[in-house]
Structure 1
Amino acid sequence: MLPSSSLRAAFAAAALVALGAAPAAAEEGAGPVLTMGTLPAIDGARLGSTFDVPAVFANVGDASLQRVYVTFAASRGLEFTDVPANCLVTEGSSLNTPLSCVFEQEVRPGKVYALPRPLTVKVGGNALYDTASVMVSTYDAGAPDGNDPRTPGTAPAVTLTERPDLEPADPGPSDHPAYDSAEVKVTADNTADFRVTGAHLKGRVGDTVPLTVKFTDAGPAWVRRDDFVERSVTKVRVRIPAGTTVTRTPGFCHRVSAGVYECGTSESWVLENFGETYSFKLRIDKAVPGAKGSVALEDEPRPFDPDKGNDTAAITLTVPGSGGPSGGSGPSDPGGSQTSGGSSDSTAGDAPTTGTSDTPAGGELAATGSDAALPLTGAAAAAIALGTAAVVVTRRRRTA
């Protein structure tokens, strides 16, 4: 990774080159039109290191503004340091931290403005695939939707500085003249241990027993899909012991073949030390000697997860008359056995799998992270959303 001084220089150069070049030529009667440049990505960021996010923008319209807002946002693995006193930090979200700075000063057409110093971002111990963003707008994009508290920064207040040495490039017509934004995608040098937990079940023929298996991100990093696609952060394959029939299937799970179920996650991210719990109901139809079951993570590349030894766990079932417990393939369950009265999993072989789909209220992840919805609305949410997708803050222009 580049040292902090080199990163600061690279960021500043990128922000200024994107804005400077040719004189602005806004459409007549366009009013104020705000625009920003782009910022480079950071790969291999060291935990505990810092980088700067500059705020450089231009008004390429034909009218002045008397007030503008500059809003920064950092996802869960990043945090801002030295926040100015005229910036408000919105608290309460487990996924991102937005802070909004208001500037009661004239922003003239055809001029470039910048903060006297960029905001510094620290890479936390739980960082992996994270994003920082900056947005300029005519409205408070960081305002919370609900009652989340907002706290002013403690560093000295700052004002916008006009940059007469820079001339904004002509961006053409804007799809969103009231705001523009830029993002920094950060890939940290960190790991996250995805693991599964199996179960030890007991019951008699005719019993209906619960089977609970788990997927957990044991950290240290939280994980959001690095492709920022809204789909499960991983998938879990559950293989049911023979001689049983599934009578209830949990939410996020579906049958893919006889005795085999595929389970997803409630979100496209998972917080460190959280995950999903999958609770089936099984009816024991007959005692099958040597019946096996297992739970396993899907076979896809996870470069952040060096420990593959806990990607598979056993599901064992003890039924009187079957000759004792039988185990699934893979290492023994690293923790959490369920043995009282019968536990369960779904059917094996070609046994019928009748049952209802039961969608619990979010499972472990949703129960602890459902409050992570962004406190941003309208165009701000479209520009700075750090929830189910990445921060979408690239500049978009209409084509002729």
Structure 2
Amino acid sequence: MLRTSLDRCLSRRTAATVAATAIGVIGLIPLAAAPASADGSPTGLALAPLASIDGVKPGGSFQLPGTFANKGATDLDKVYLSYTVTRGLAPQELPSNCTRYETGSYDENPSHSAVVCEFDQTVKTGAVYAPEKNLSLDVLGHALYESLRVEVATYNSEPSDGNKETVRGTGPAVKLTELPSTTPVRDGNVDHPDWDGAGVPVTVDNTADFRATDARLKGRVGDTVALDAGFTNEGPAWVLSAQGDPVAKVLIKMPAGTTVTKASGACSKVAAGSYRCGLANYWIEEKGGVAYTFKLRIDKAVPGAEGSVTLVGEERPYDRNKKNDSAAIVLDVDGAGGPTGGSGSSGGGSTGGSGSTSTTGGSGTASTGGSGSTGGSGSTGGSATTGSSTTGSDLASTGSGSALPLAGAAAAALAAGAGTVLLVRRRTARN
């Protein structure tokens, strides 16, 4: 699962060298296999091959890789090992020669943690090294599809983007130890001999339950009412998807007898009274959600008419409860002898403009030995922010009870996303 935007955040040097390698729904920030120089000359720092980490459980932990070689022509006086992880993972207590950076959500990047360790010792040419004691990561309760990035460099690769909190390690300093020269390592890269980096996908044995939200509208014939329809992530895991692909899409079908006078800017009309909606972000936090606001005019009371909200799009193997993937939109027309649709819980009868509303929340990402993560870690659960209003589809669209043809769904307009805890910004919706 390629996330090039997050990769740019994790390392400012890697944007031009990221390989577009997709591996289903597992989070991965891969670096292309580094070519050796054409004449076989030394190429500098090179990491050992990295394997994916699968099947770890919430509440567990695992050790970080950190083996590398100096394939350059000269000894080095100092090197830095750095690790960057997504918000479902948290570094444990760190040695004093390591610093942790917590960066909140910004632009297209969810919150994440980075650790940079300085090794002030000679690294001989042709030798292979690893920390004498591996660092460890905790797997948090909301972890699911996570990413780990490892880098070795001759200079400090401290994160430069976003609003970050810095915590210095307090444990005994860790040194590098020399390994046998036969230890496998990758080829270095002649284009950047002073650093090497690679991404590792981490798959956690966890679930997330996406629930479509029902709605009940009320008004008289001729009234215009607001509809808020969407879904929530009941957790326990957050979900990080491939960049460019929303974690889910929503199909909204209006009750018969209504006309859409203003559609959400995050949605595209795919049939009369039917809209397909995407997300501004490619992740959703635990206990977060999205609501799409429409304005409907009640044209007439249609007995038995009922709209719907249905989750569609990408497969969600982590979501094992499919019974709540669809919900009803019920319309009560005053003076029409009762509701025109079936039963439903209280929903989006509030007024408002077009756009989408995102909510984020859930547990923080505090780790032993320092303060927890900041920004989009969900440390303030249940807050909501209304997205920027967009033009969307202003032409009236009459609701229909016919089956919806899915072919020919149009691309979305602009939608609103979440930010530093809730980043408010205008971005292209992905639907």
Q: Which amino acid in structure 1 is aligned with residue 344 of structure 2?
A: S
Q: 2-side partners of 1:203 and 1:170: how far apart?
A: 67
Deviation of 1:165 after TM superposition, in Å, equals 4.3
Match of 1:114 among 124, 130, 133: 130
Distance 1:270 1:86, change over 3 A: same
**Does 2:171 match 1:155?**
yes
Deviations 1:284-330 (A, max 9, x none): 223323221010111653221222222111111122344421226xx
Whole-Å separation in 2 of the counterparts to 1:72 and 1:123: 15
Measured in 1, the distance between the counterparts of 2:188 and 2:66 equals 21
- 1:32–1:63 Cα contact (<8 Å) kept: no
TM-score (norm 1): 0.74
What is the CA–CA distance in structure 1 between the aligned matches of 2:217 and 2:352, rounded to whole Å? 5
Give the conservation status (yes or no) of the 8 Å contact 1:111–1:167.
Answer: no
Q: Structure 2 unaligned runs (5+)?
A: 1-35, 105-109, 355-395, 403-411, 425-431
Q: Give the Å deviation of 1:166.
A: 3.8
Matched, 1:248 2:262: yes
Does structure 2 conserve the Cα–Cα contact (< 8 Å) formed by 1:245 and 1:346?
yes
**Any idea what SS the aligned residue of 2:202 has?**
strand
Shift in CA distance, 307/370, structure 1 to aligned 2, threshold 3 Å: same
Q: Report if the CA contact (8 A) 2:267-2:275 is conserved.
A: yes
Structure 1: unaligned runs, 5 residues or longer: 1-24, 352-356, 372-400
| 2:117 pairs with 1:96 | no
Q: Could you tell me how far 1:72 is from its partner in structure 2?
A: 0.8
AA at the equivalent of 1:46 = K
Q: Deviations over 1:117-140 (max 9, x none)?
A: 111112211111112232112333
Q: Secondary structure at the match of 2:296?
A: strand
- Give the whole-Å Cα distance in 1 for the aligned partners of 2:183 and 2:56: 32
Q: Which residue of 2 aligns with 1:6?
A: none
Letter of the 2:400 counterpart: G
Cα distance in 2 between the residues matched to 1:305 and 1:297:
11
Contact 1:249 1:358 in 2 (8 A): no
C-alpha root-mean-square deviation of aligned residues, in Å?
3.2
Structure 1 residue 261 corresponds to structure 2 residue 272: no
Aligned in 2, Cα 1:287/1:358: closer, same or farther, shift over 3 Å? Answer: farther
The 1:367–1:245 alpha-carbon spacing in structure 2 relative to 1, beyond 3 Å, is: farther
Match for residue 354 of structure 1? none
Residue in 2 that maps onto 1:311: 325
1:340-366 superposed Cα distances (whole Å, 9 cap, x missing partner):
789999741299xxxxx985542xx45
Residue 68 of structure 2 corresponds to which residue in structure 1? 57
What does 1:20-39 align with in structure 2 at a 5 Å threshold?
A: 33-39=44-50
Equivalences, count: 335
CA distance in 2, matches of 1:154, 1:124: 22
TM-score when normalising by structure 2:
0.69
Aligned match of 1:349: 400
State the Cα distance separating 1:179 from its structure 2 match.
Answer: 2.0
CA deviation after TM superposition for structure 1 residue 31, in Å: 7.3
2:247/2:314 contact within 8 Å kept? no
